[in-house]
């Protein structure tokens, strides 16, 4: 199993419901490919972790690169031979972190909110932030973050995408 973390930017501003639809569409595709993951959005920048079989994950990344809504797509980190999924509760889910109150609730004392655009290029910062946001989303939605058994790889509802 592999885990890939990447960063992308929106080419144009999209309303929250359109981004939620994008996430649900990705989750449906990922579920069929047995790929799981999580992403955050802040100021038009997405950080995303995807995991599963290498071929399936690479196909997901290729689809993202072809998506005309994204640009400046940077592959930040690869973990090959991962023993287990780190973001397995959903096939894909999303948290909007461009609200300072949600940032504090999800991330806690980490003060990099204002430096997010710069720090989002750092692989360690990005993986850590994704992990914190994922755990917070699981807790808020009362979902097992370890996602064992049949609950792995769900398609989220719009209500499960935290934005404030």
pLDDT digits (tens, 9 = 90+) for 11-51: 888 898 999 998 999 999 999 999 999 999 988 899 999 99
Distance CA 40, CA 97 (A): 7
Structure-token pair, residue 89: 């509760």
Q: pLDDT, tens digit, for every residue of 100-152?
A: 777 778 777 666 666 788 889 999 989 999 999 999 899 888 888 876 554 56
Count structural domains, the chain: 1
Q: Residue 122 and residue 127: Cα distance in Å, rounded? A: 9
**Two structure tokens written together for 117:** 């655009």
CA distances (Å), origin 9, targets 22, 53, 58, 98: 14, 25, 19, 14
Q: By residue range, what is the domain housing residue 72?
A: 2-160
Q: How would you classify the pairing of strands 36-42 and 94-96?
A: parallel
Q: Would strands 36-42 and 45-52 be described as parallel, antiparallel, or unpaired?
A: antiparallel
Q: Is pLDDT above 80 for 75? A: yes
> Whole-prediction pTM value?
0.89
CATH number at residue 7: 3.30.70.100
């Amino acid at each position: 199993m592999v885990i890939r973390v990447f960063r992308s930017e929106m080419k144009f501003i999209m309303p929250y419901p359109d981004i939620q639809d994008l996430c649900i569409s990705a989750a449906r595709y990922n579920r069929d490919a047995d790929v799981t993951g999580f992403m955050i959005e802040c100021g038009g920048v997405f950080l995303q972790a995807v995991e599963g079989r290498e071929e399936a994950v690479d196909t997901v990344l290729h689809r993202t690169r072809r998506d005309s809504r994204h640009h400046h797509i940077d592959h930040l980190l690869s973990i090959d031979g991962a023993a287990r999924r780190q973001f397995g509760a959903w096939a894909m889910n999303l948290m909007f972190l461009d609200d300072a109150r949600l940032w504090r609730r999800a991330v806690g004392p980490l003060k990099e909110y204002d430096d997010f655009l710069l720090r989002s290029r750092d692989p360690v910062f990005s993986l850590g932030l994704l992990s914190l946001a994922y755990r917070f989303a699981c807790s808020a939605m009362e979902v097992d973050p370890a996602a064992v058994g049949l609950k792995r790889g769900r398609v989220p509802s719009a209500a499960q995408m935290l934005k404030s």
